[in-house]
Structure 1
Amino acid sequence: MIKDLMYIELKTGYSDDGPAWIGYVKTSKTKKTIYFNDQAFQKYNGCYSNYVDIETGDEYWISGLKKKESNRHWAGHGKIMIDQRAVDEYLSLIEEKELPHNLFEIIDIEDRFPMERINKLLNSKD
């Protein structure tokens, strides 16, 4: 499993204003499956989304981090929740000394990667 820092935004029901996070994910080697915050996402080709929650069907935009502009869509609003463990790495990436408090909320995100649960779910569908 590969562990990366990524941007995750819920699209279903929100358009460009959904809850958004910057946090550590685990991915399959191909990045077709991403695990984050006790959820699992598979690659998906939606109009405004690129991953779907395997268990709920909710659509998400998941991407690497942008260095010089907002990770949110230009029309989107709302604070991005960032894992407190990721703040220093993110600041280094964007070459800043502190996060703009009007754009970010620092939170604790537990490492919960449900590989076993999701594998059982996917194998039971066969």
Structure 2
Amino acid sequence: MKPRIMYIENKETGEARIGRVTFSRTLQTGYYRDKMLQRSGGAGIKGNFFDAETSEEYWVSGCKKRGGDSHWANKVSVNIDEDVREEYWTIIRGLSIPA
């Protein structure tokens, strides 16, 4: 499946990133960097995915044109991976790249 630029937030540490995620055909597994993120059942947890190796919870969602990519209940600072920076600002947000 084609990689997508997604918002990825570690619910354990609060670290949030925008980066390229590749999903399995069934969308039950996402791959980001060295992490294999499994879709969670949703009952009683903060994230919609969890790291298969460490069991840390993650919130993974699509990026929004207006920004505000973080989960509504939790505002955090977001880092953008260098390899997606230009595409995120120009294609997804429709803006010029900030200095």
Letter in 2 for 1:73: H
**Unaligned residue ranges in structure 2 (runs of 5+):** none
Residue in 1 aligned with 2:60? 62
How many angstroms apart in 2 are the aligned matches of 1:43 and 1:73? 16
Offset of 1:89 from its aligned partner? 1.1
* Stretches (4+) displaced over 6 A: none
Q: Secondary structure at the match of 2:3?
A: strand
Residue in 2 aligned with 1:96? 95
Letter in 1 for 2:51: D
Matched, 1:23 2:19: yes
Contact 1:2 1:28 in 2 (8 A): no
**Unaligned residue ranges in structure 1 (runs of 5+):** 102-126
Letter in 2 for 1:39: K
CA RMSD of aligned residues (A): 1.7
Residue in 2 aligned with 1:53? 51
Identity rate, percent: 37
The aligned runs of 1:107-126 (5 Å cut-off) are: none
TM-score, normalisation: structure 1: 0.67
Contact 1:67 1:94 in 2 (8 A): yes
Aligned length: 95
Residue in 2 aligned with 1:107? none
Letter in 1 for 2:54: T
How many angstroms apart in 2 are the aligned matches of 1:52 and 1:6? 15
How many angstroms apart in 1 are the aligned matches of 2:27 and 2:67? 24
